[in-house]
Structure 1
Amino acid sequence: MLGWALTFLVIALIAAVLGFGGIAGTAVGIAKIIFFVAVVLFLISAIFGGIRGRRI
């Protein structure tokens, strides 16, 4: 998922260099959303992994 966020960030940078401001802004917005979703999913996974790992 972080790969997708990085891909959209690269697309945004290329679009910004070429002067496509609207596309660049949209790509940055999508990259931010995907990044934060990935972080939230990682935290949820870490919490549940920690809870399940403590049971013996």
Structure 2
Amino acid sequence: MLREIATLHGHPPKVILLKTGNRRTSKLSNLLQEKAQLIFSFIYDKNNNNISCLEIIE
């Protein structure tokens, strides 16, 4: 069923999974800024079209 939905409507949304534990918002903001190029590539690079989850571990 998921395959049919993906065929009709495109790939499911991309997910960015942050495995950081309990952190201050400022620390998460810094981490996301540090990983901005990786996140941009994950979302927009056509070579990553078949990847639905990016896991960032700190």
TM over 0.5: no
- Bigger Cα Rg: 1
Greater relative CO (CA pairs within 8 A, separation 6+) = 2
Higher-helix-fraction structure: 1
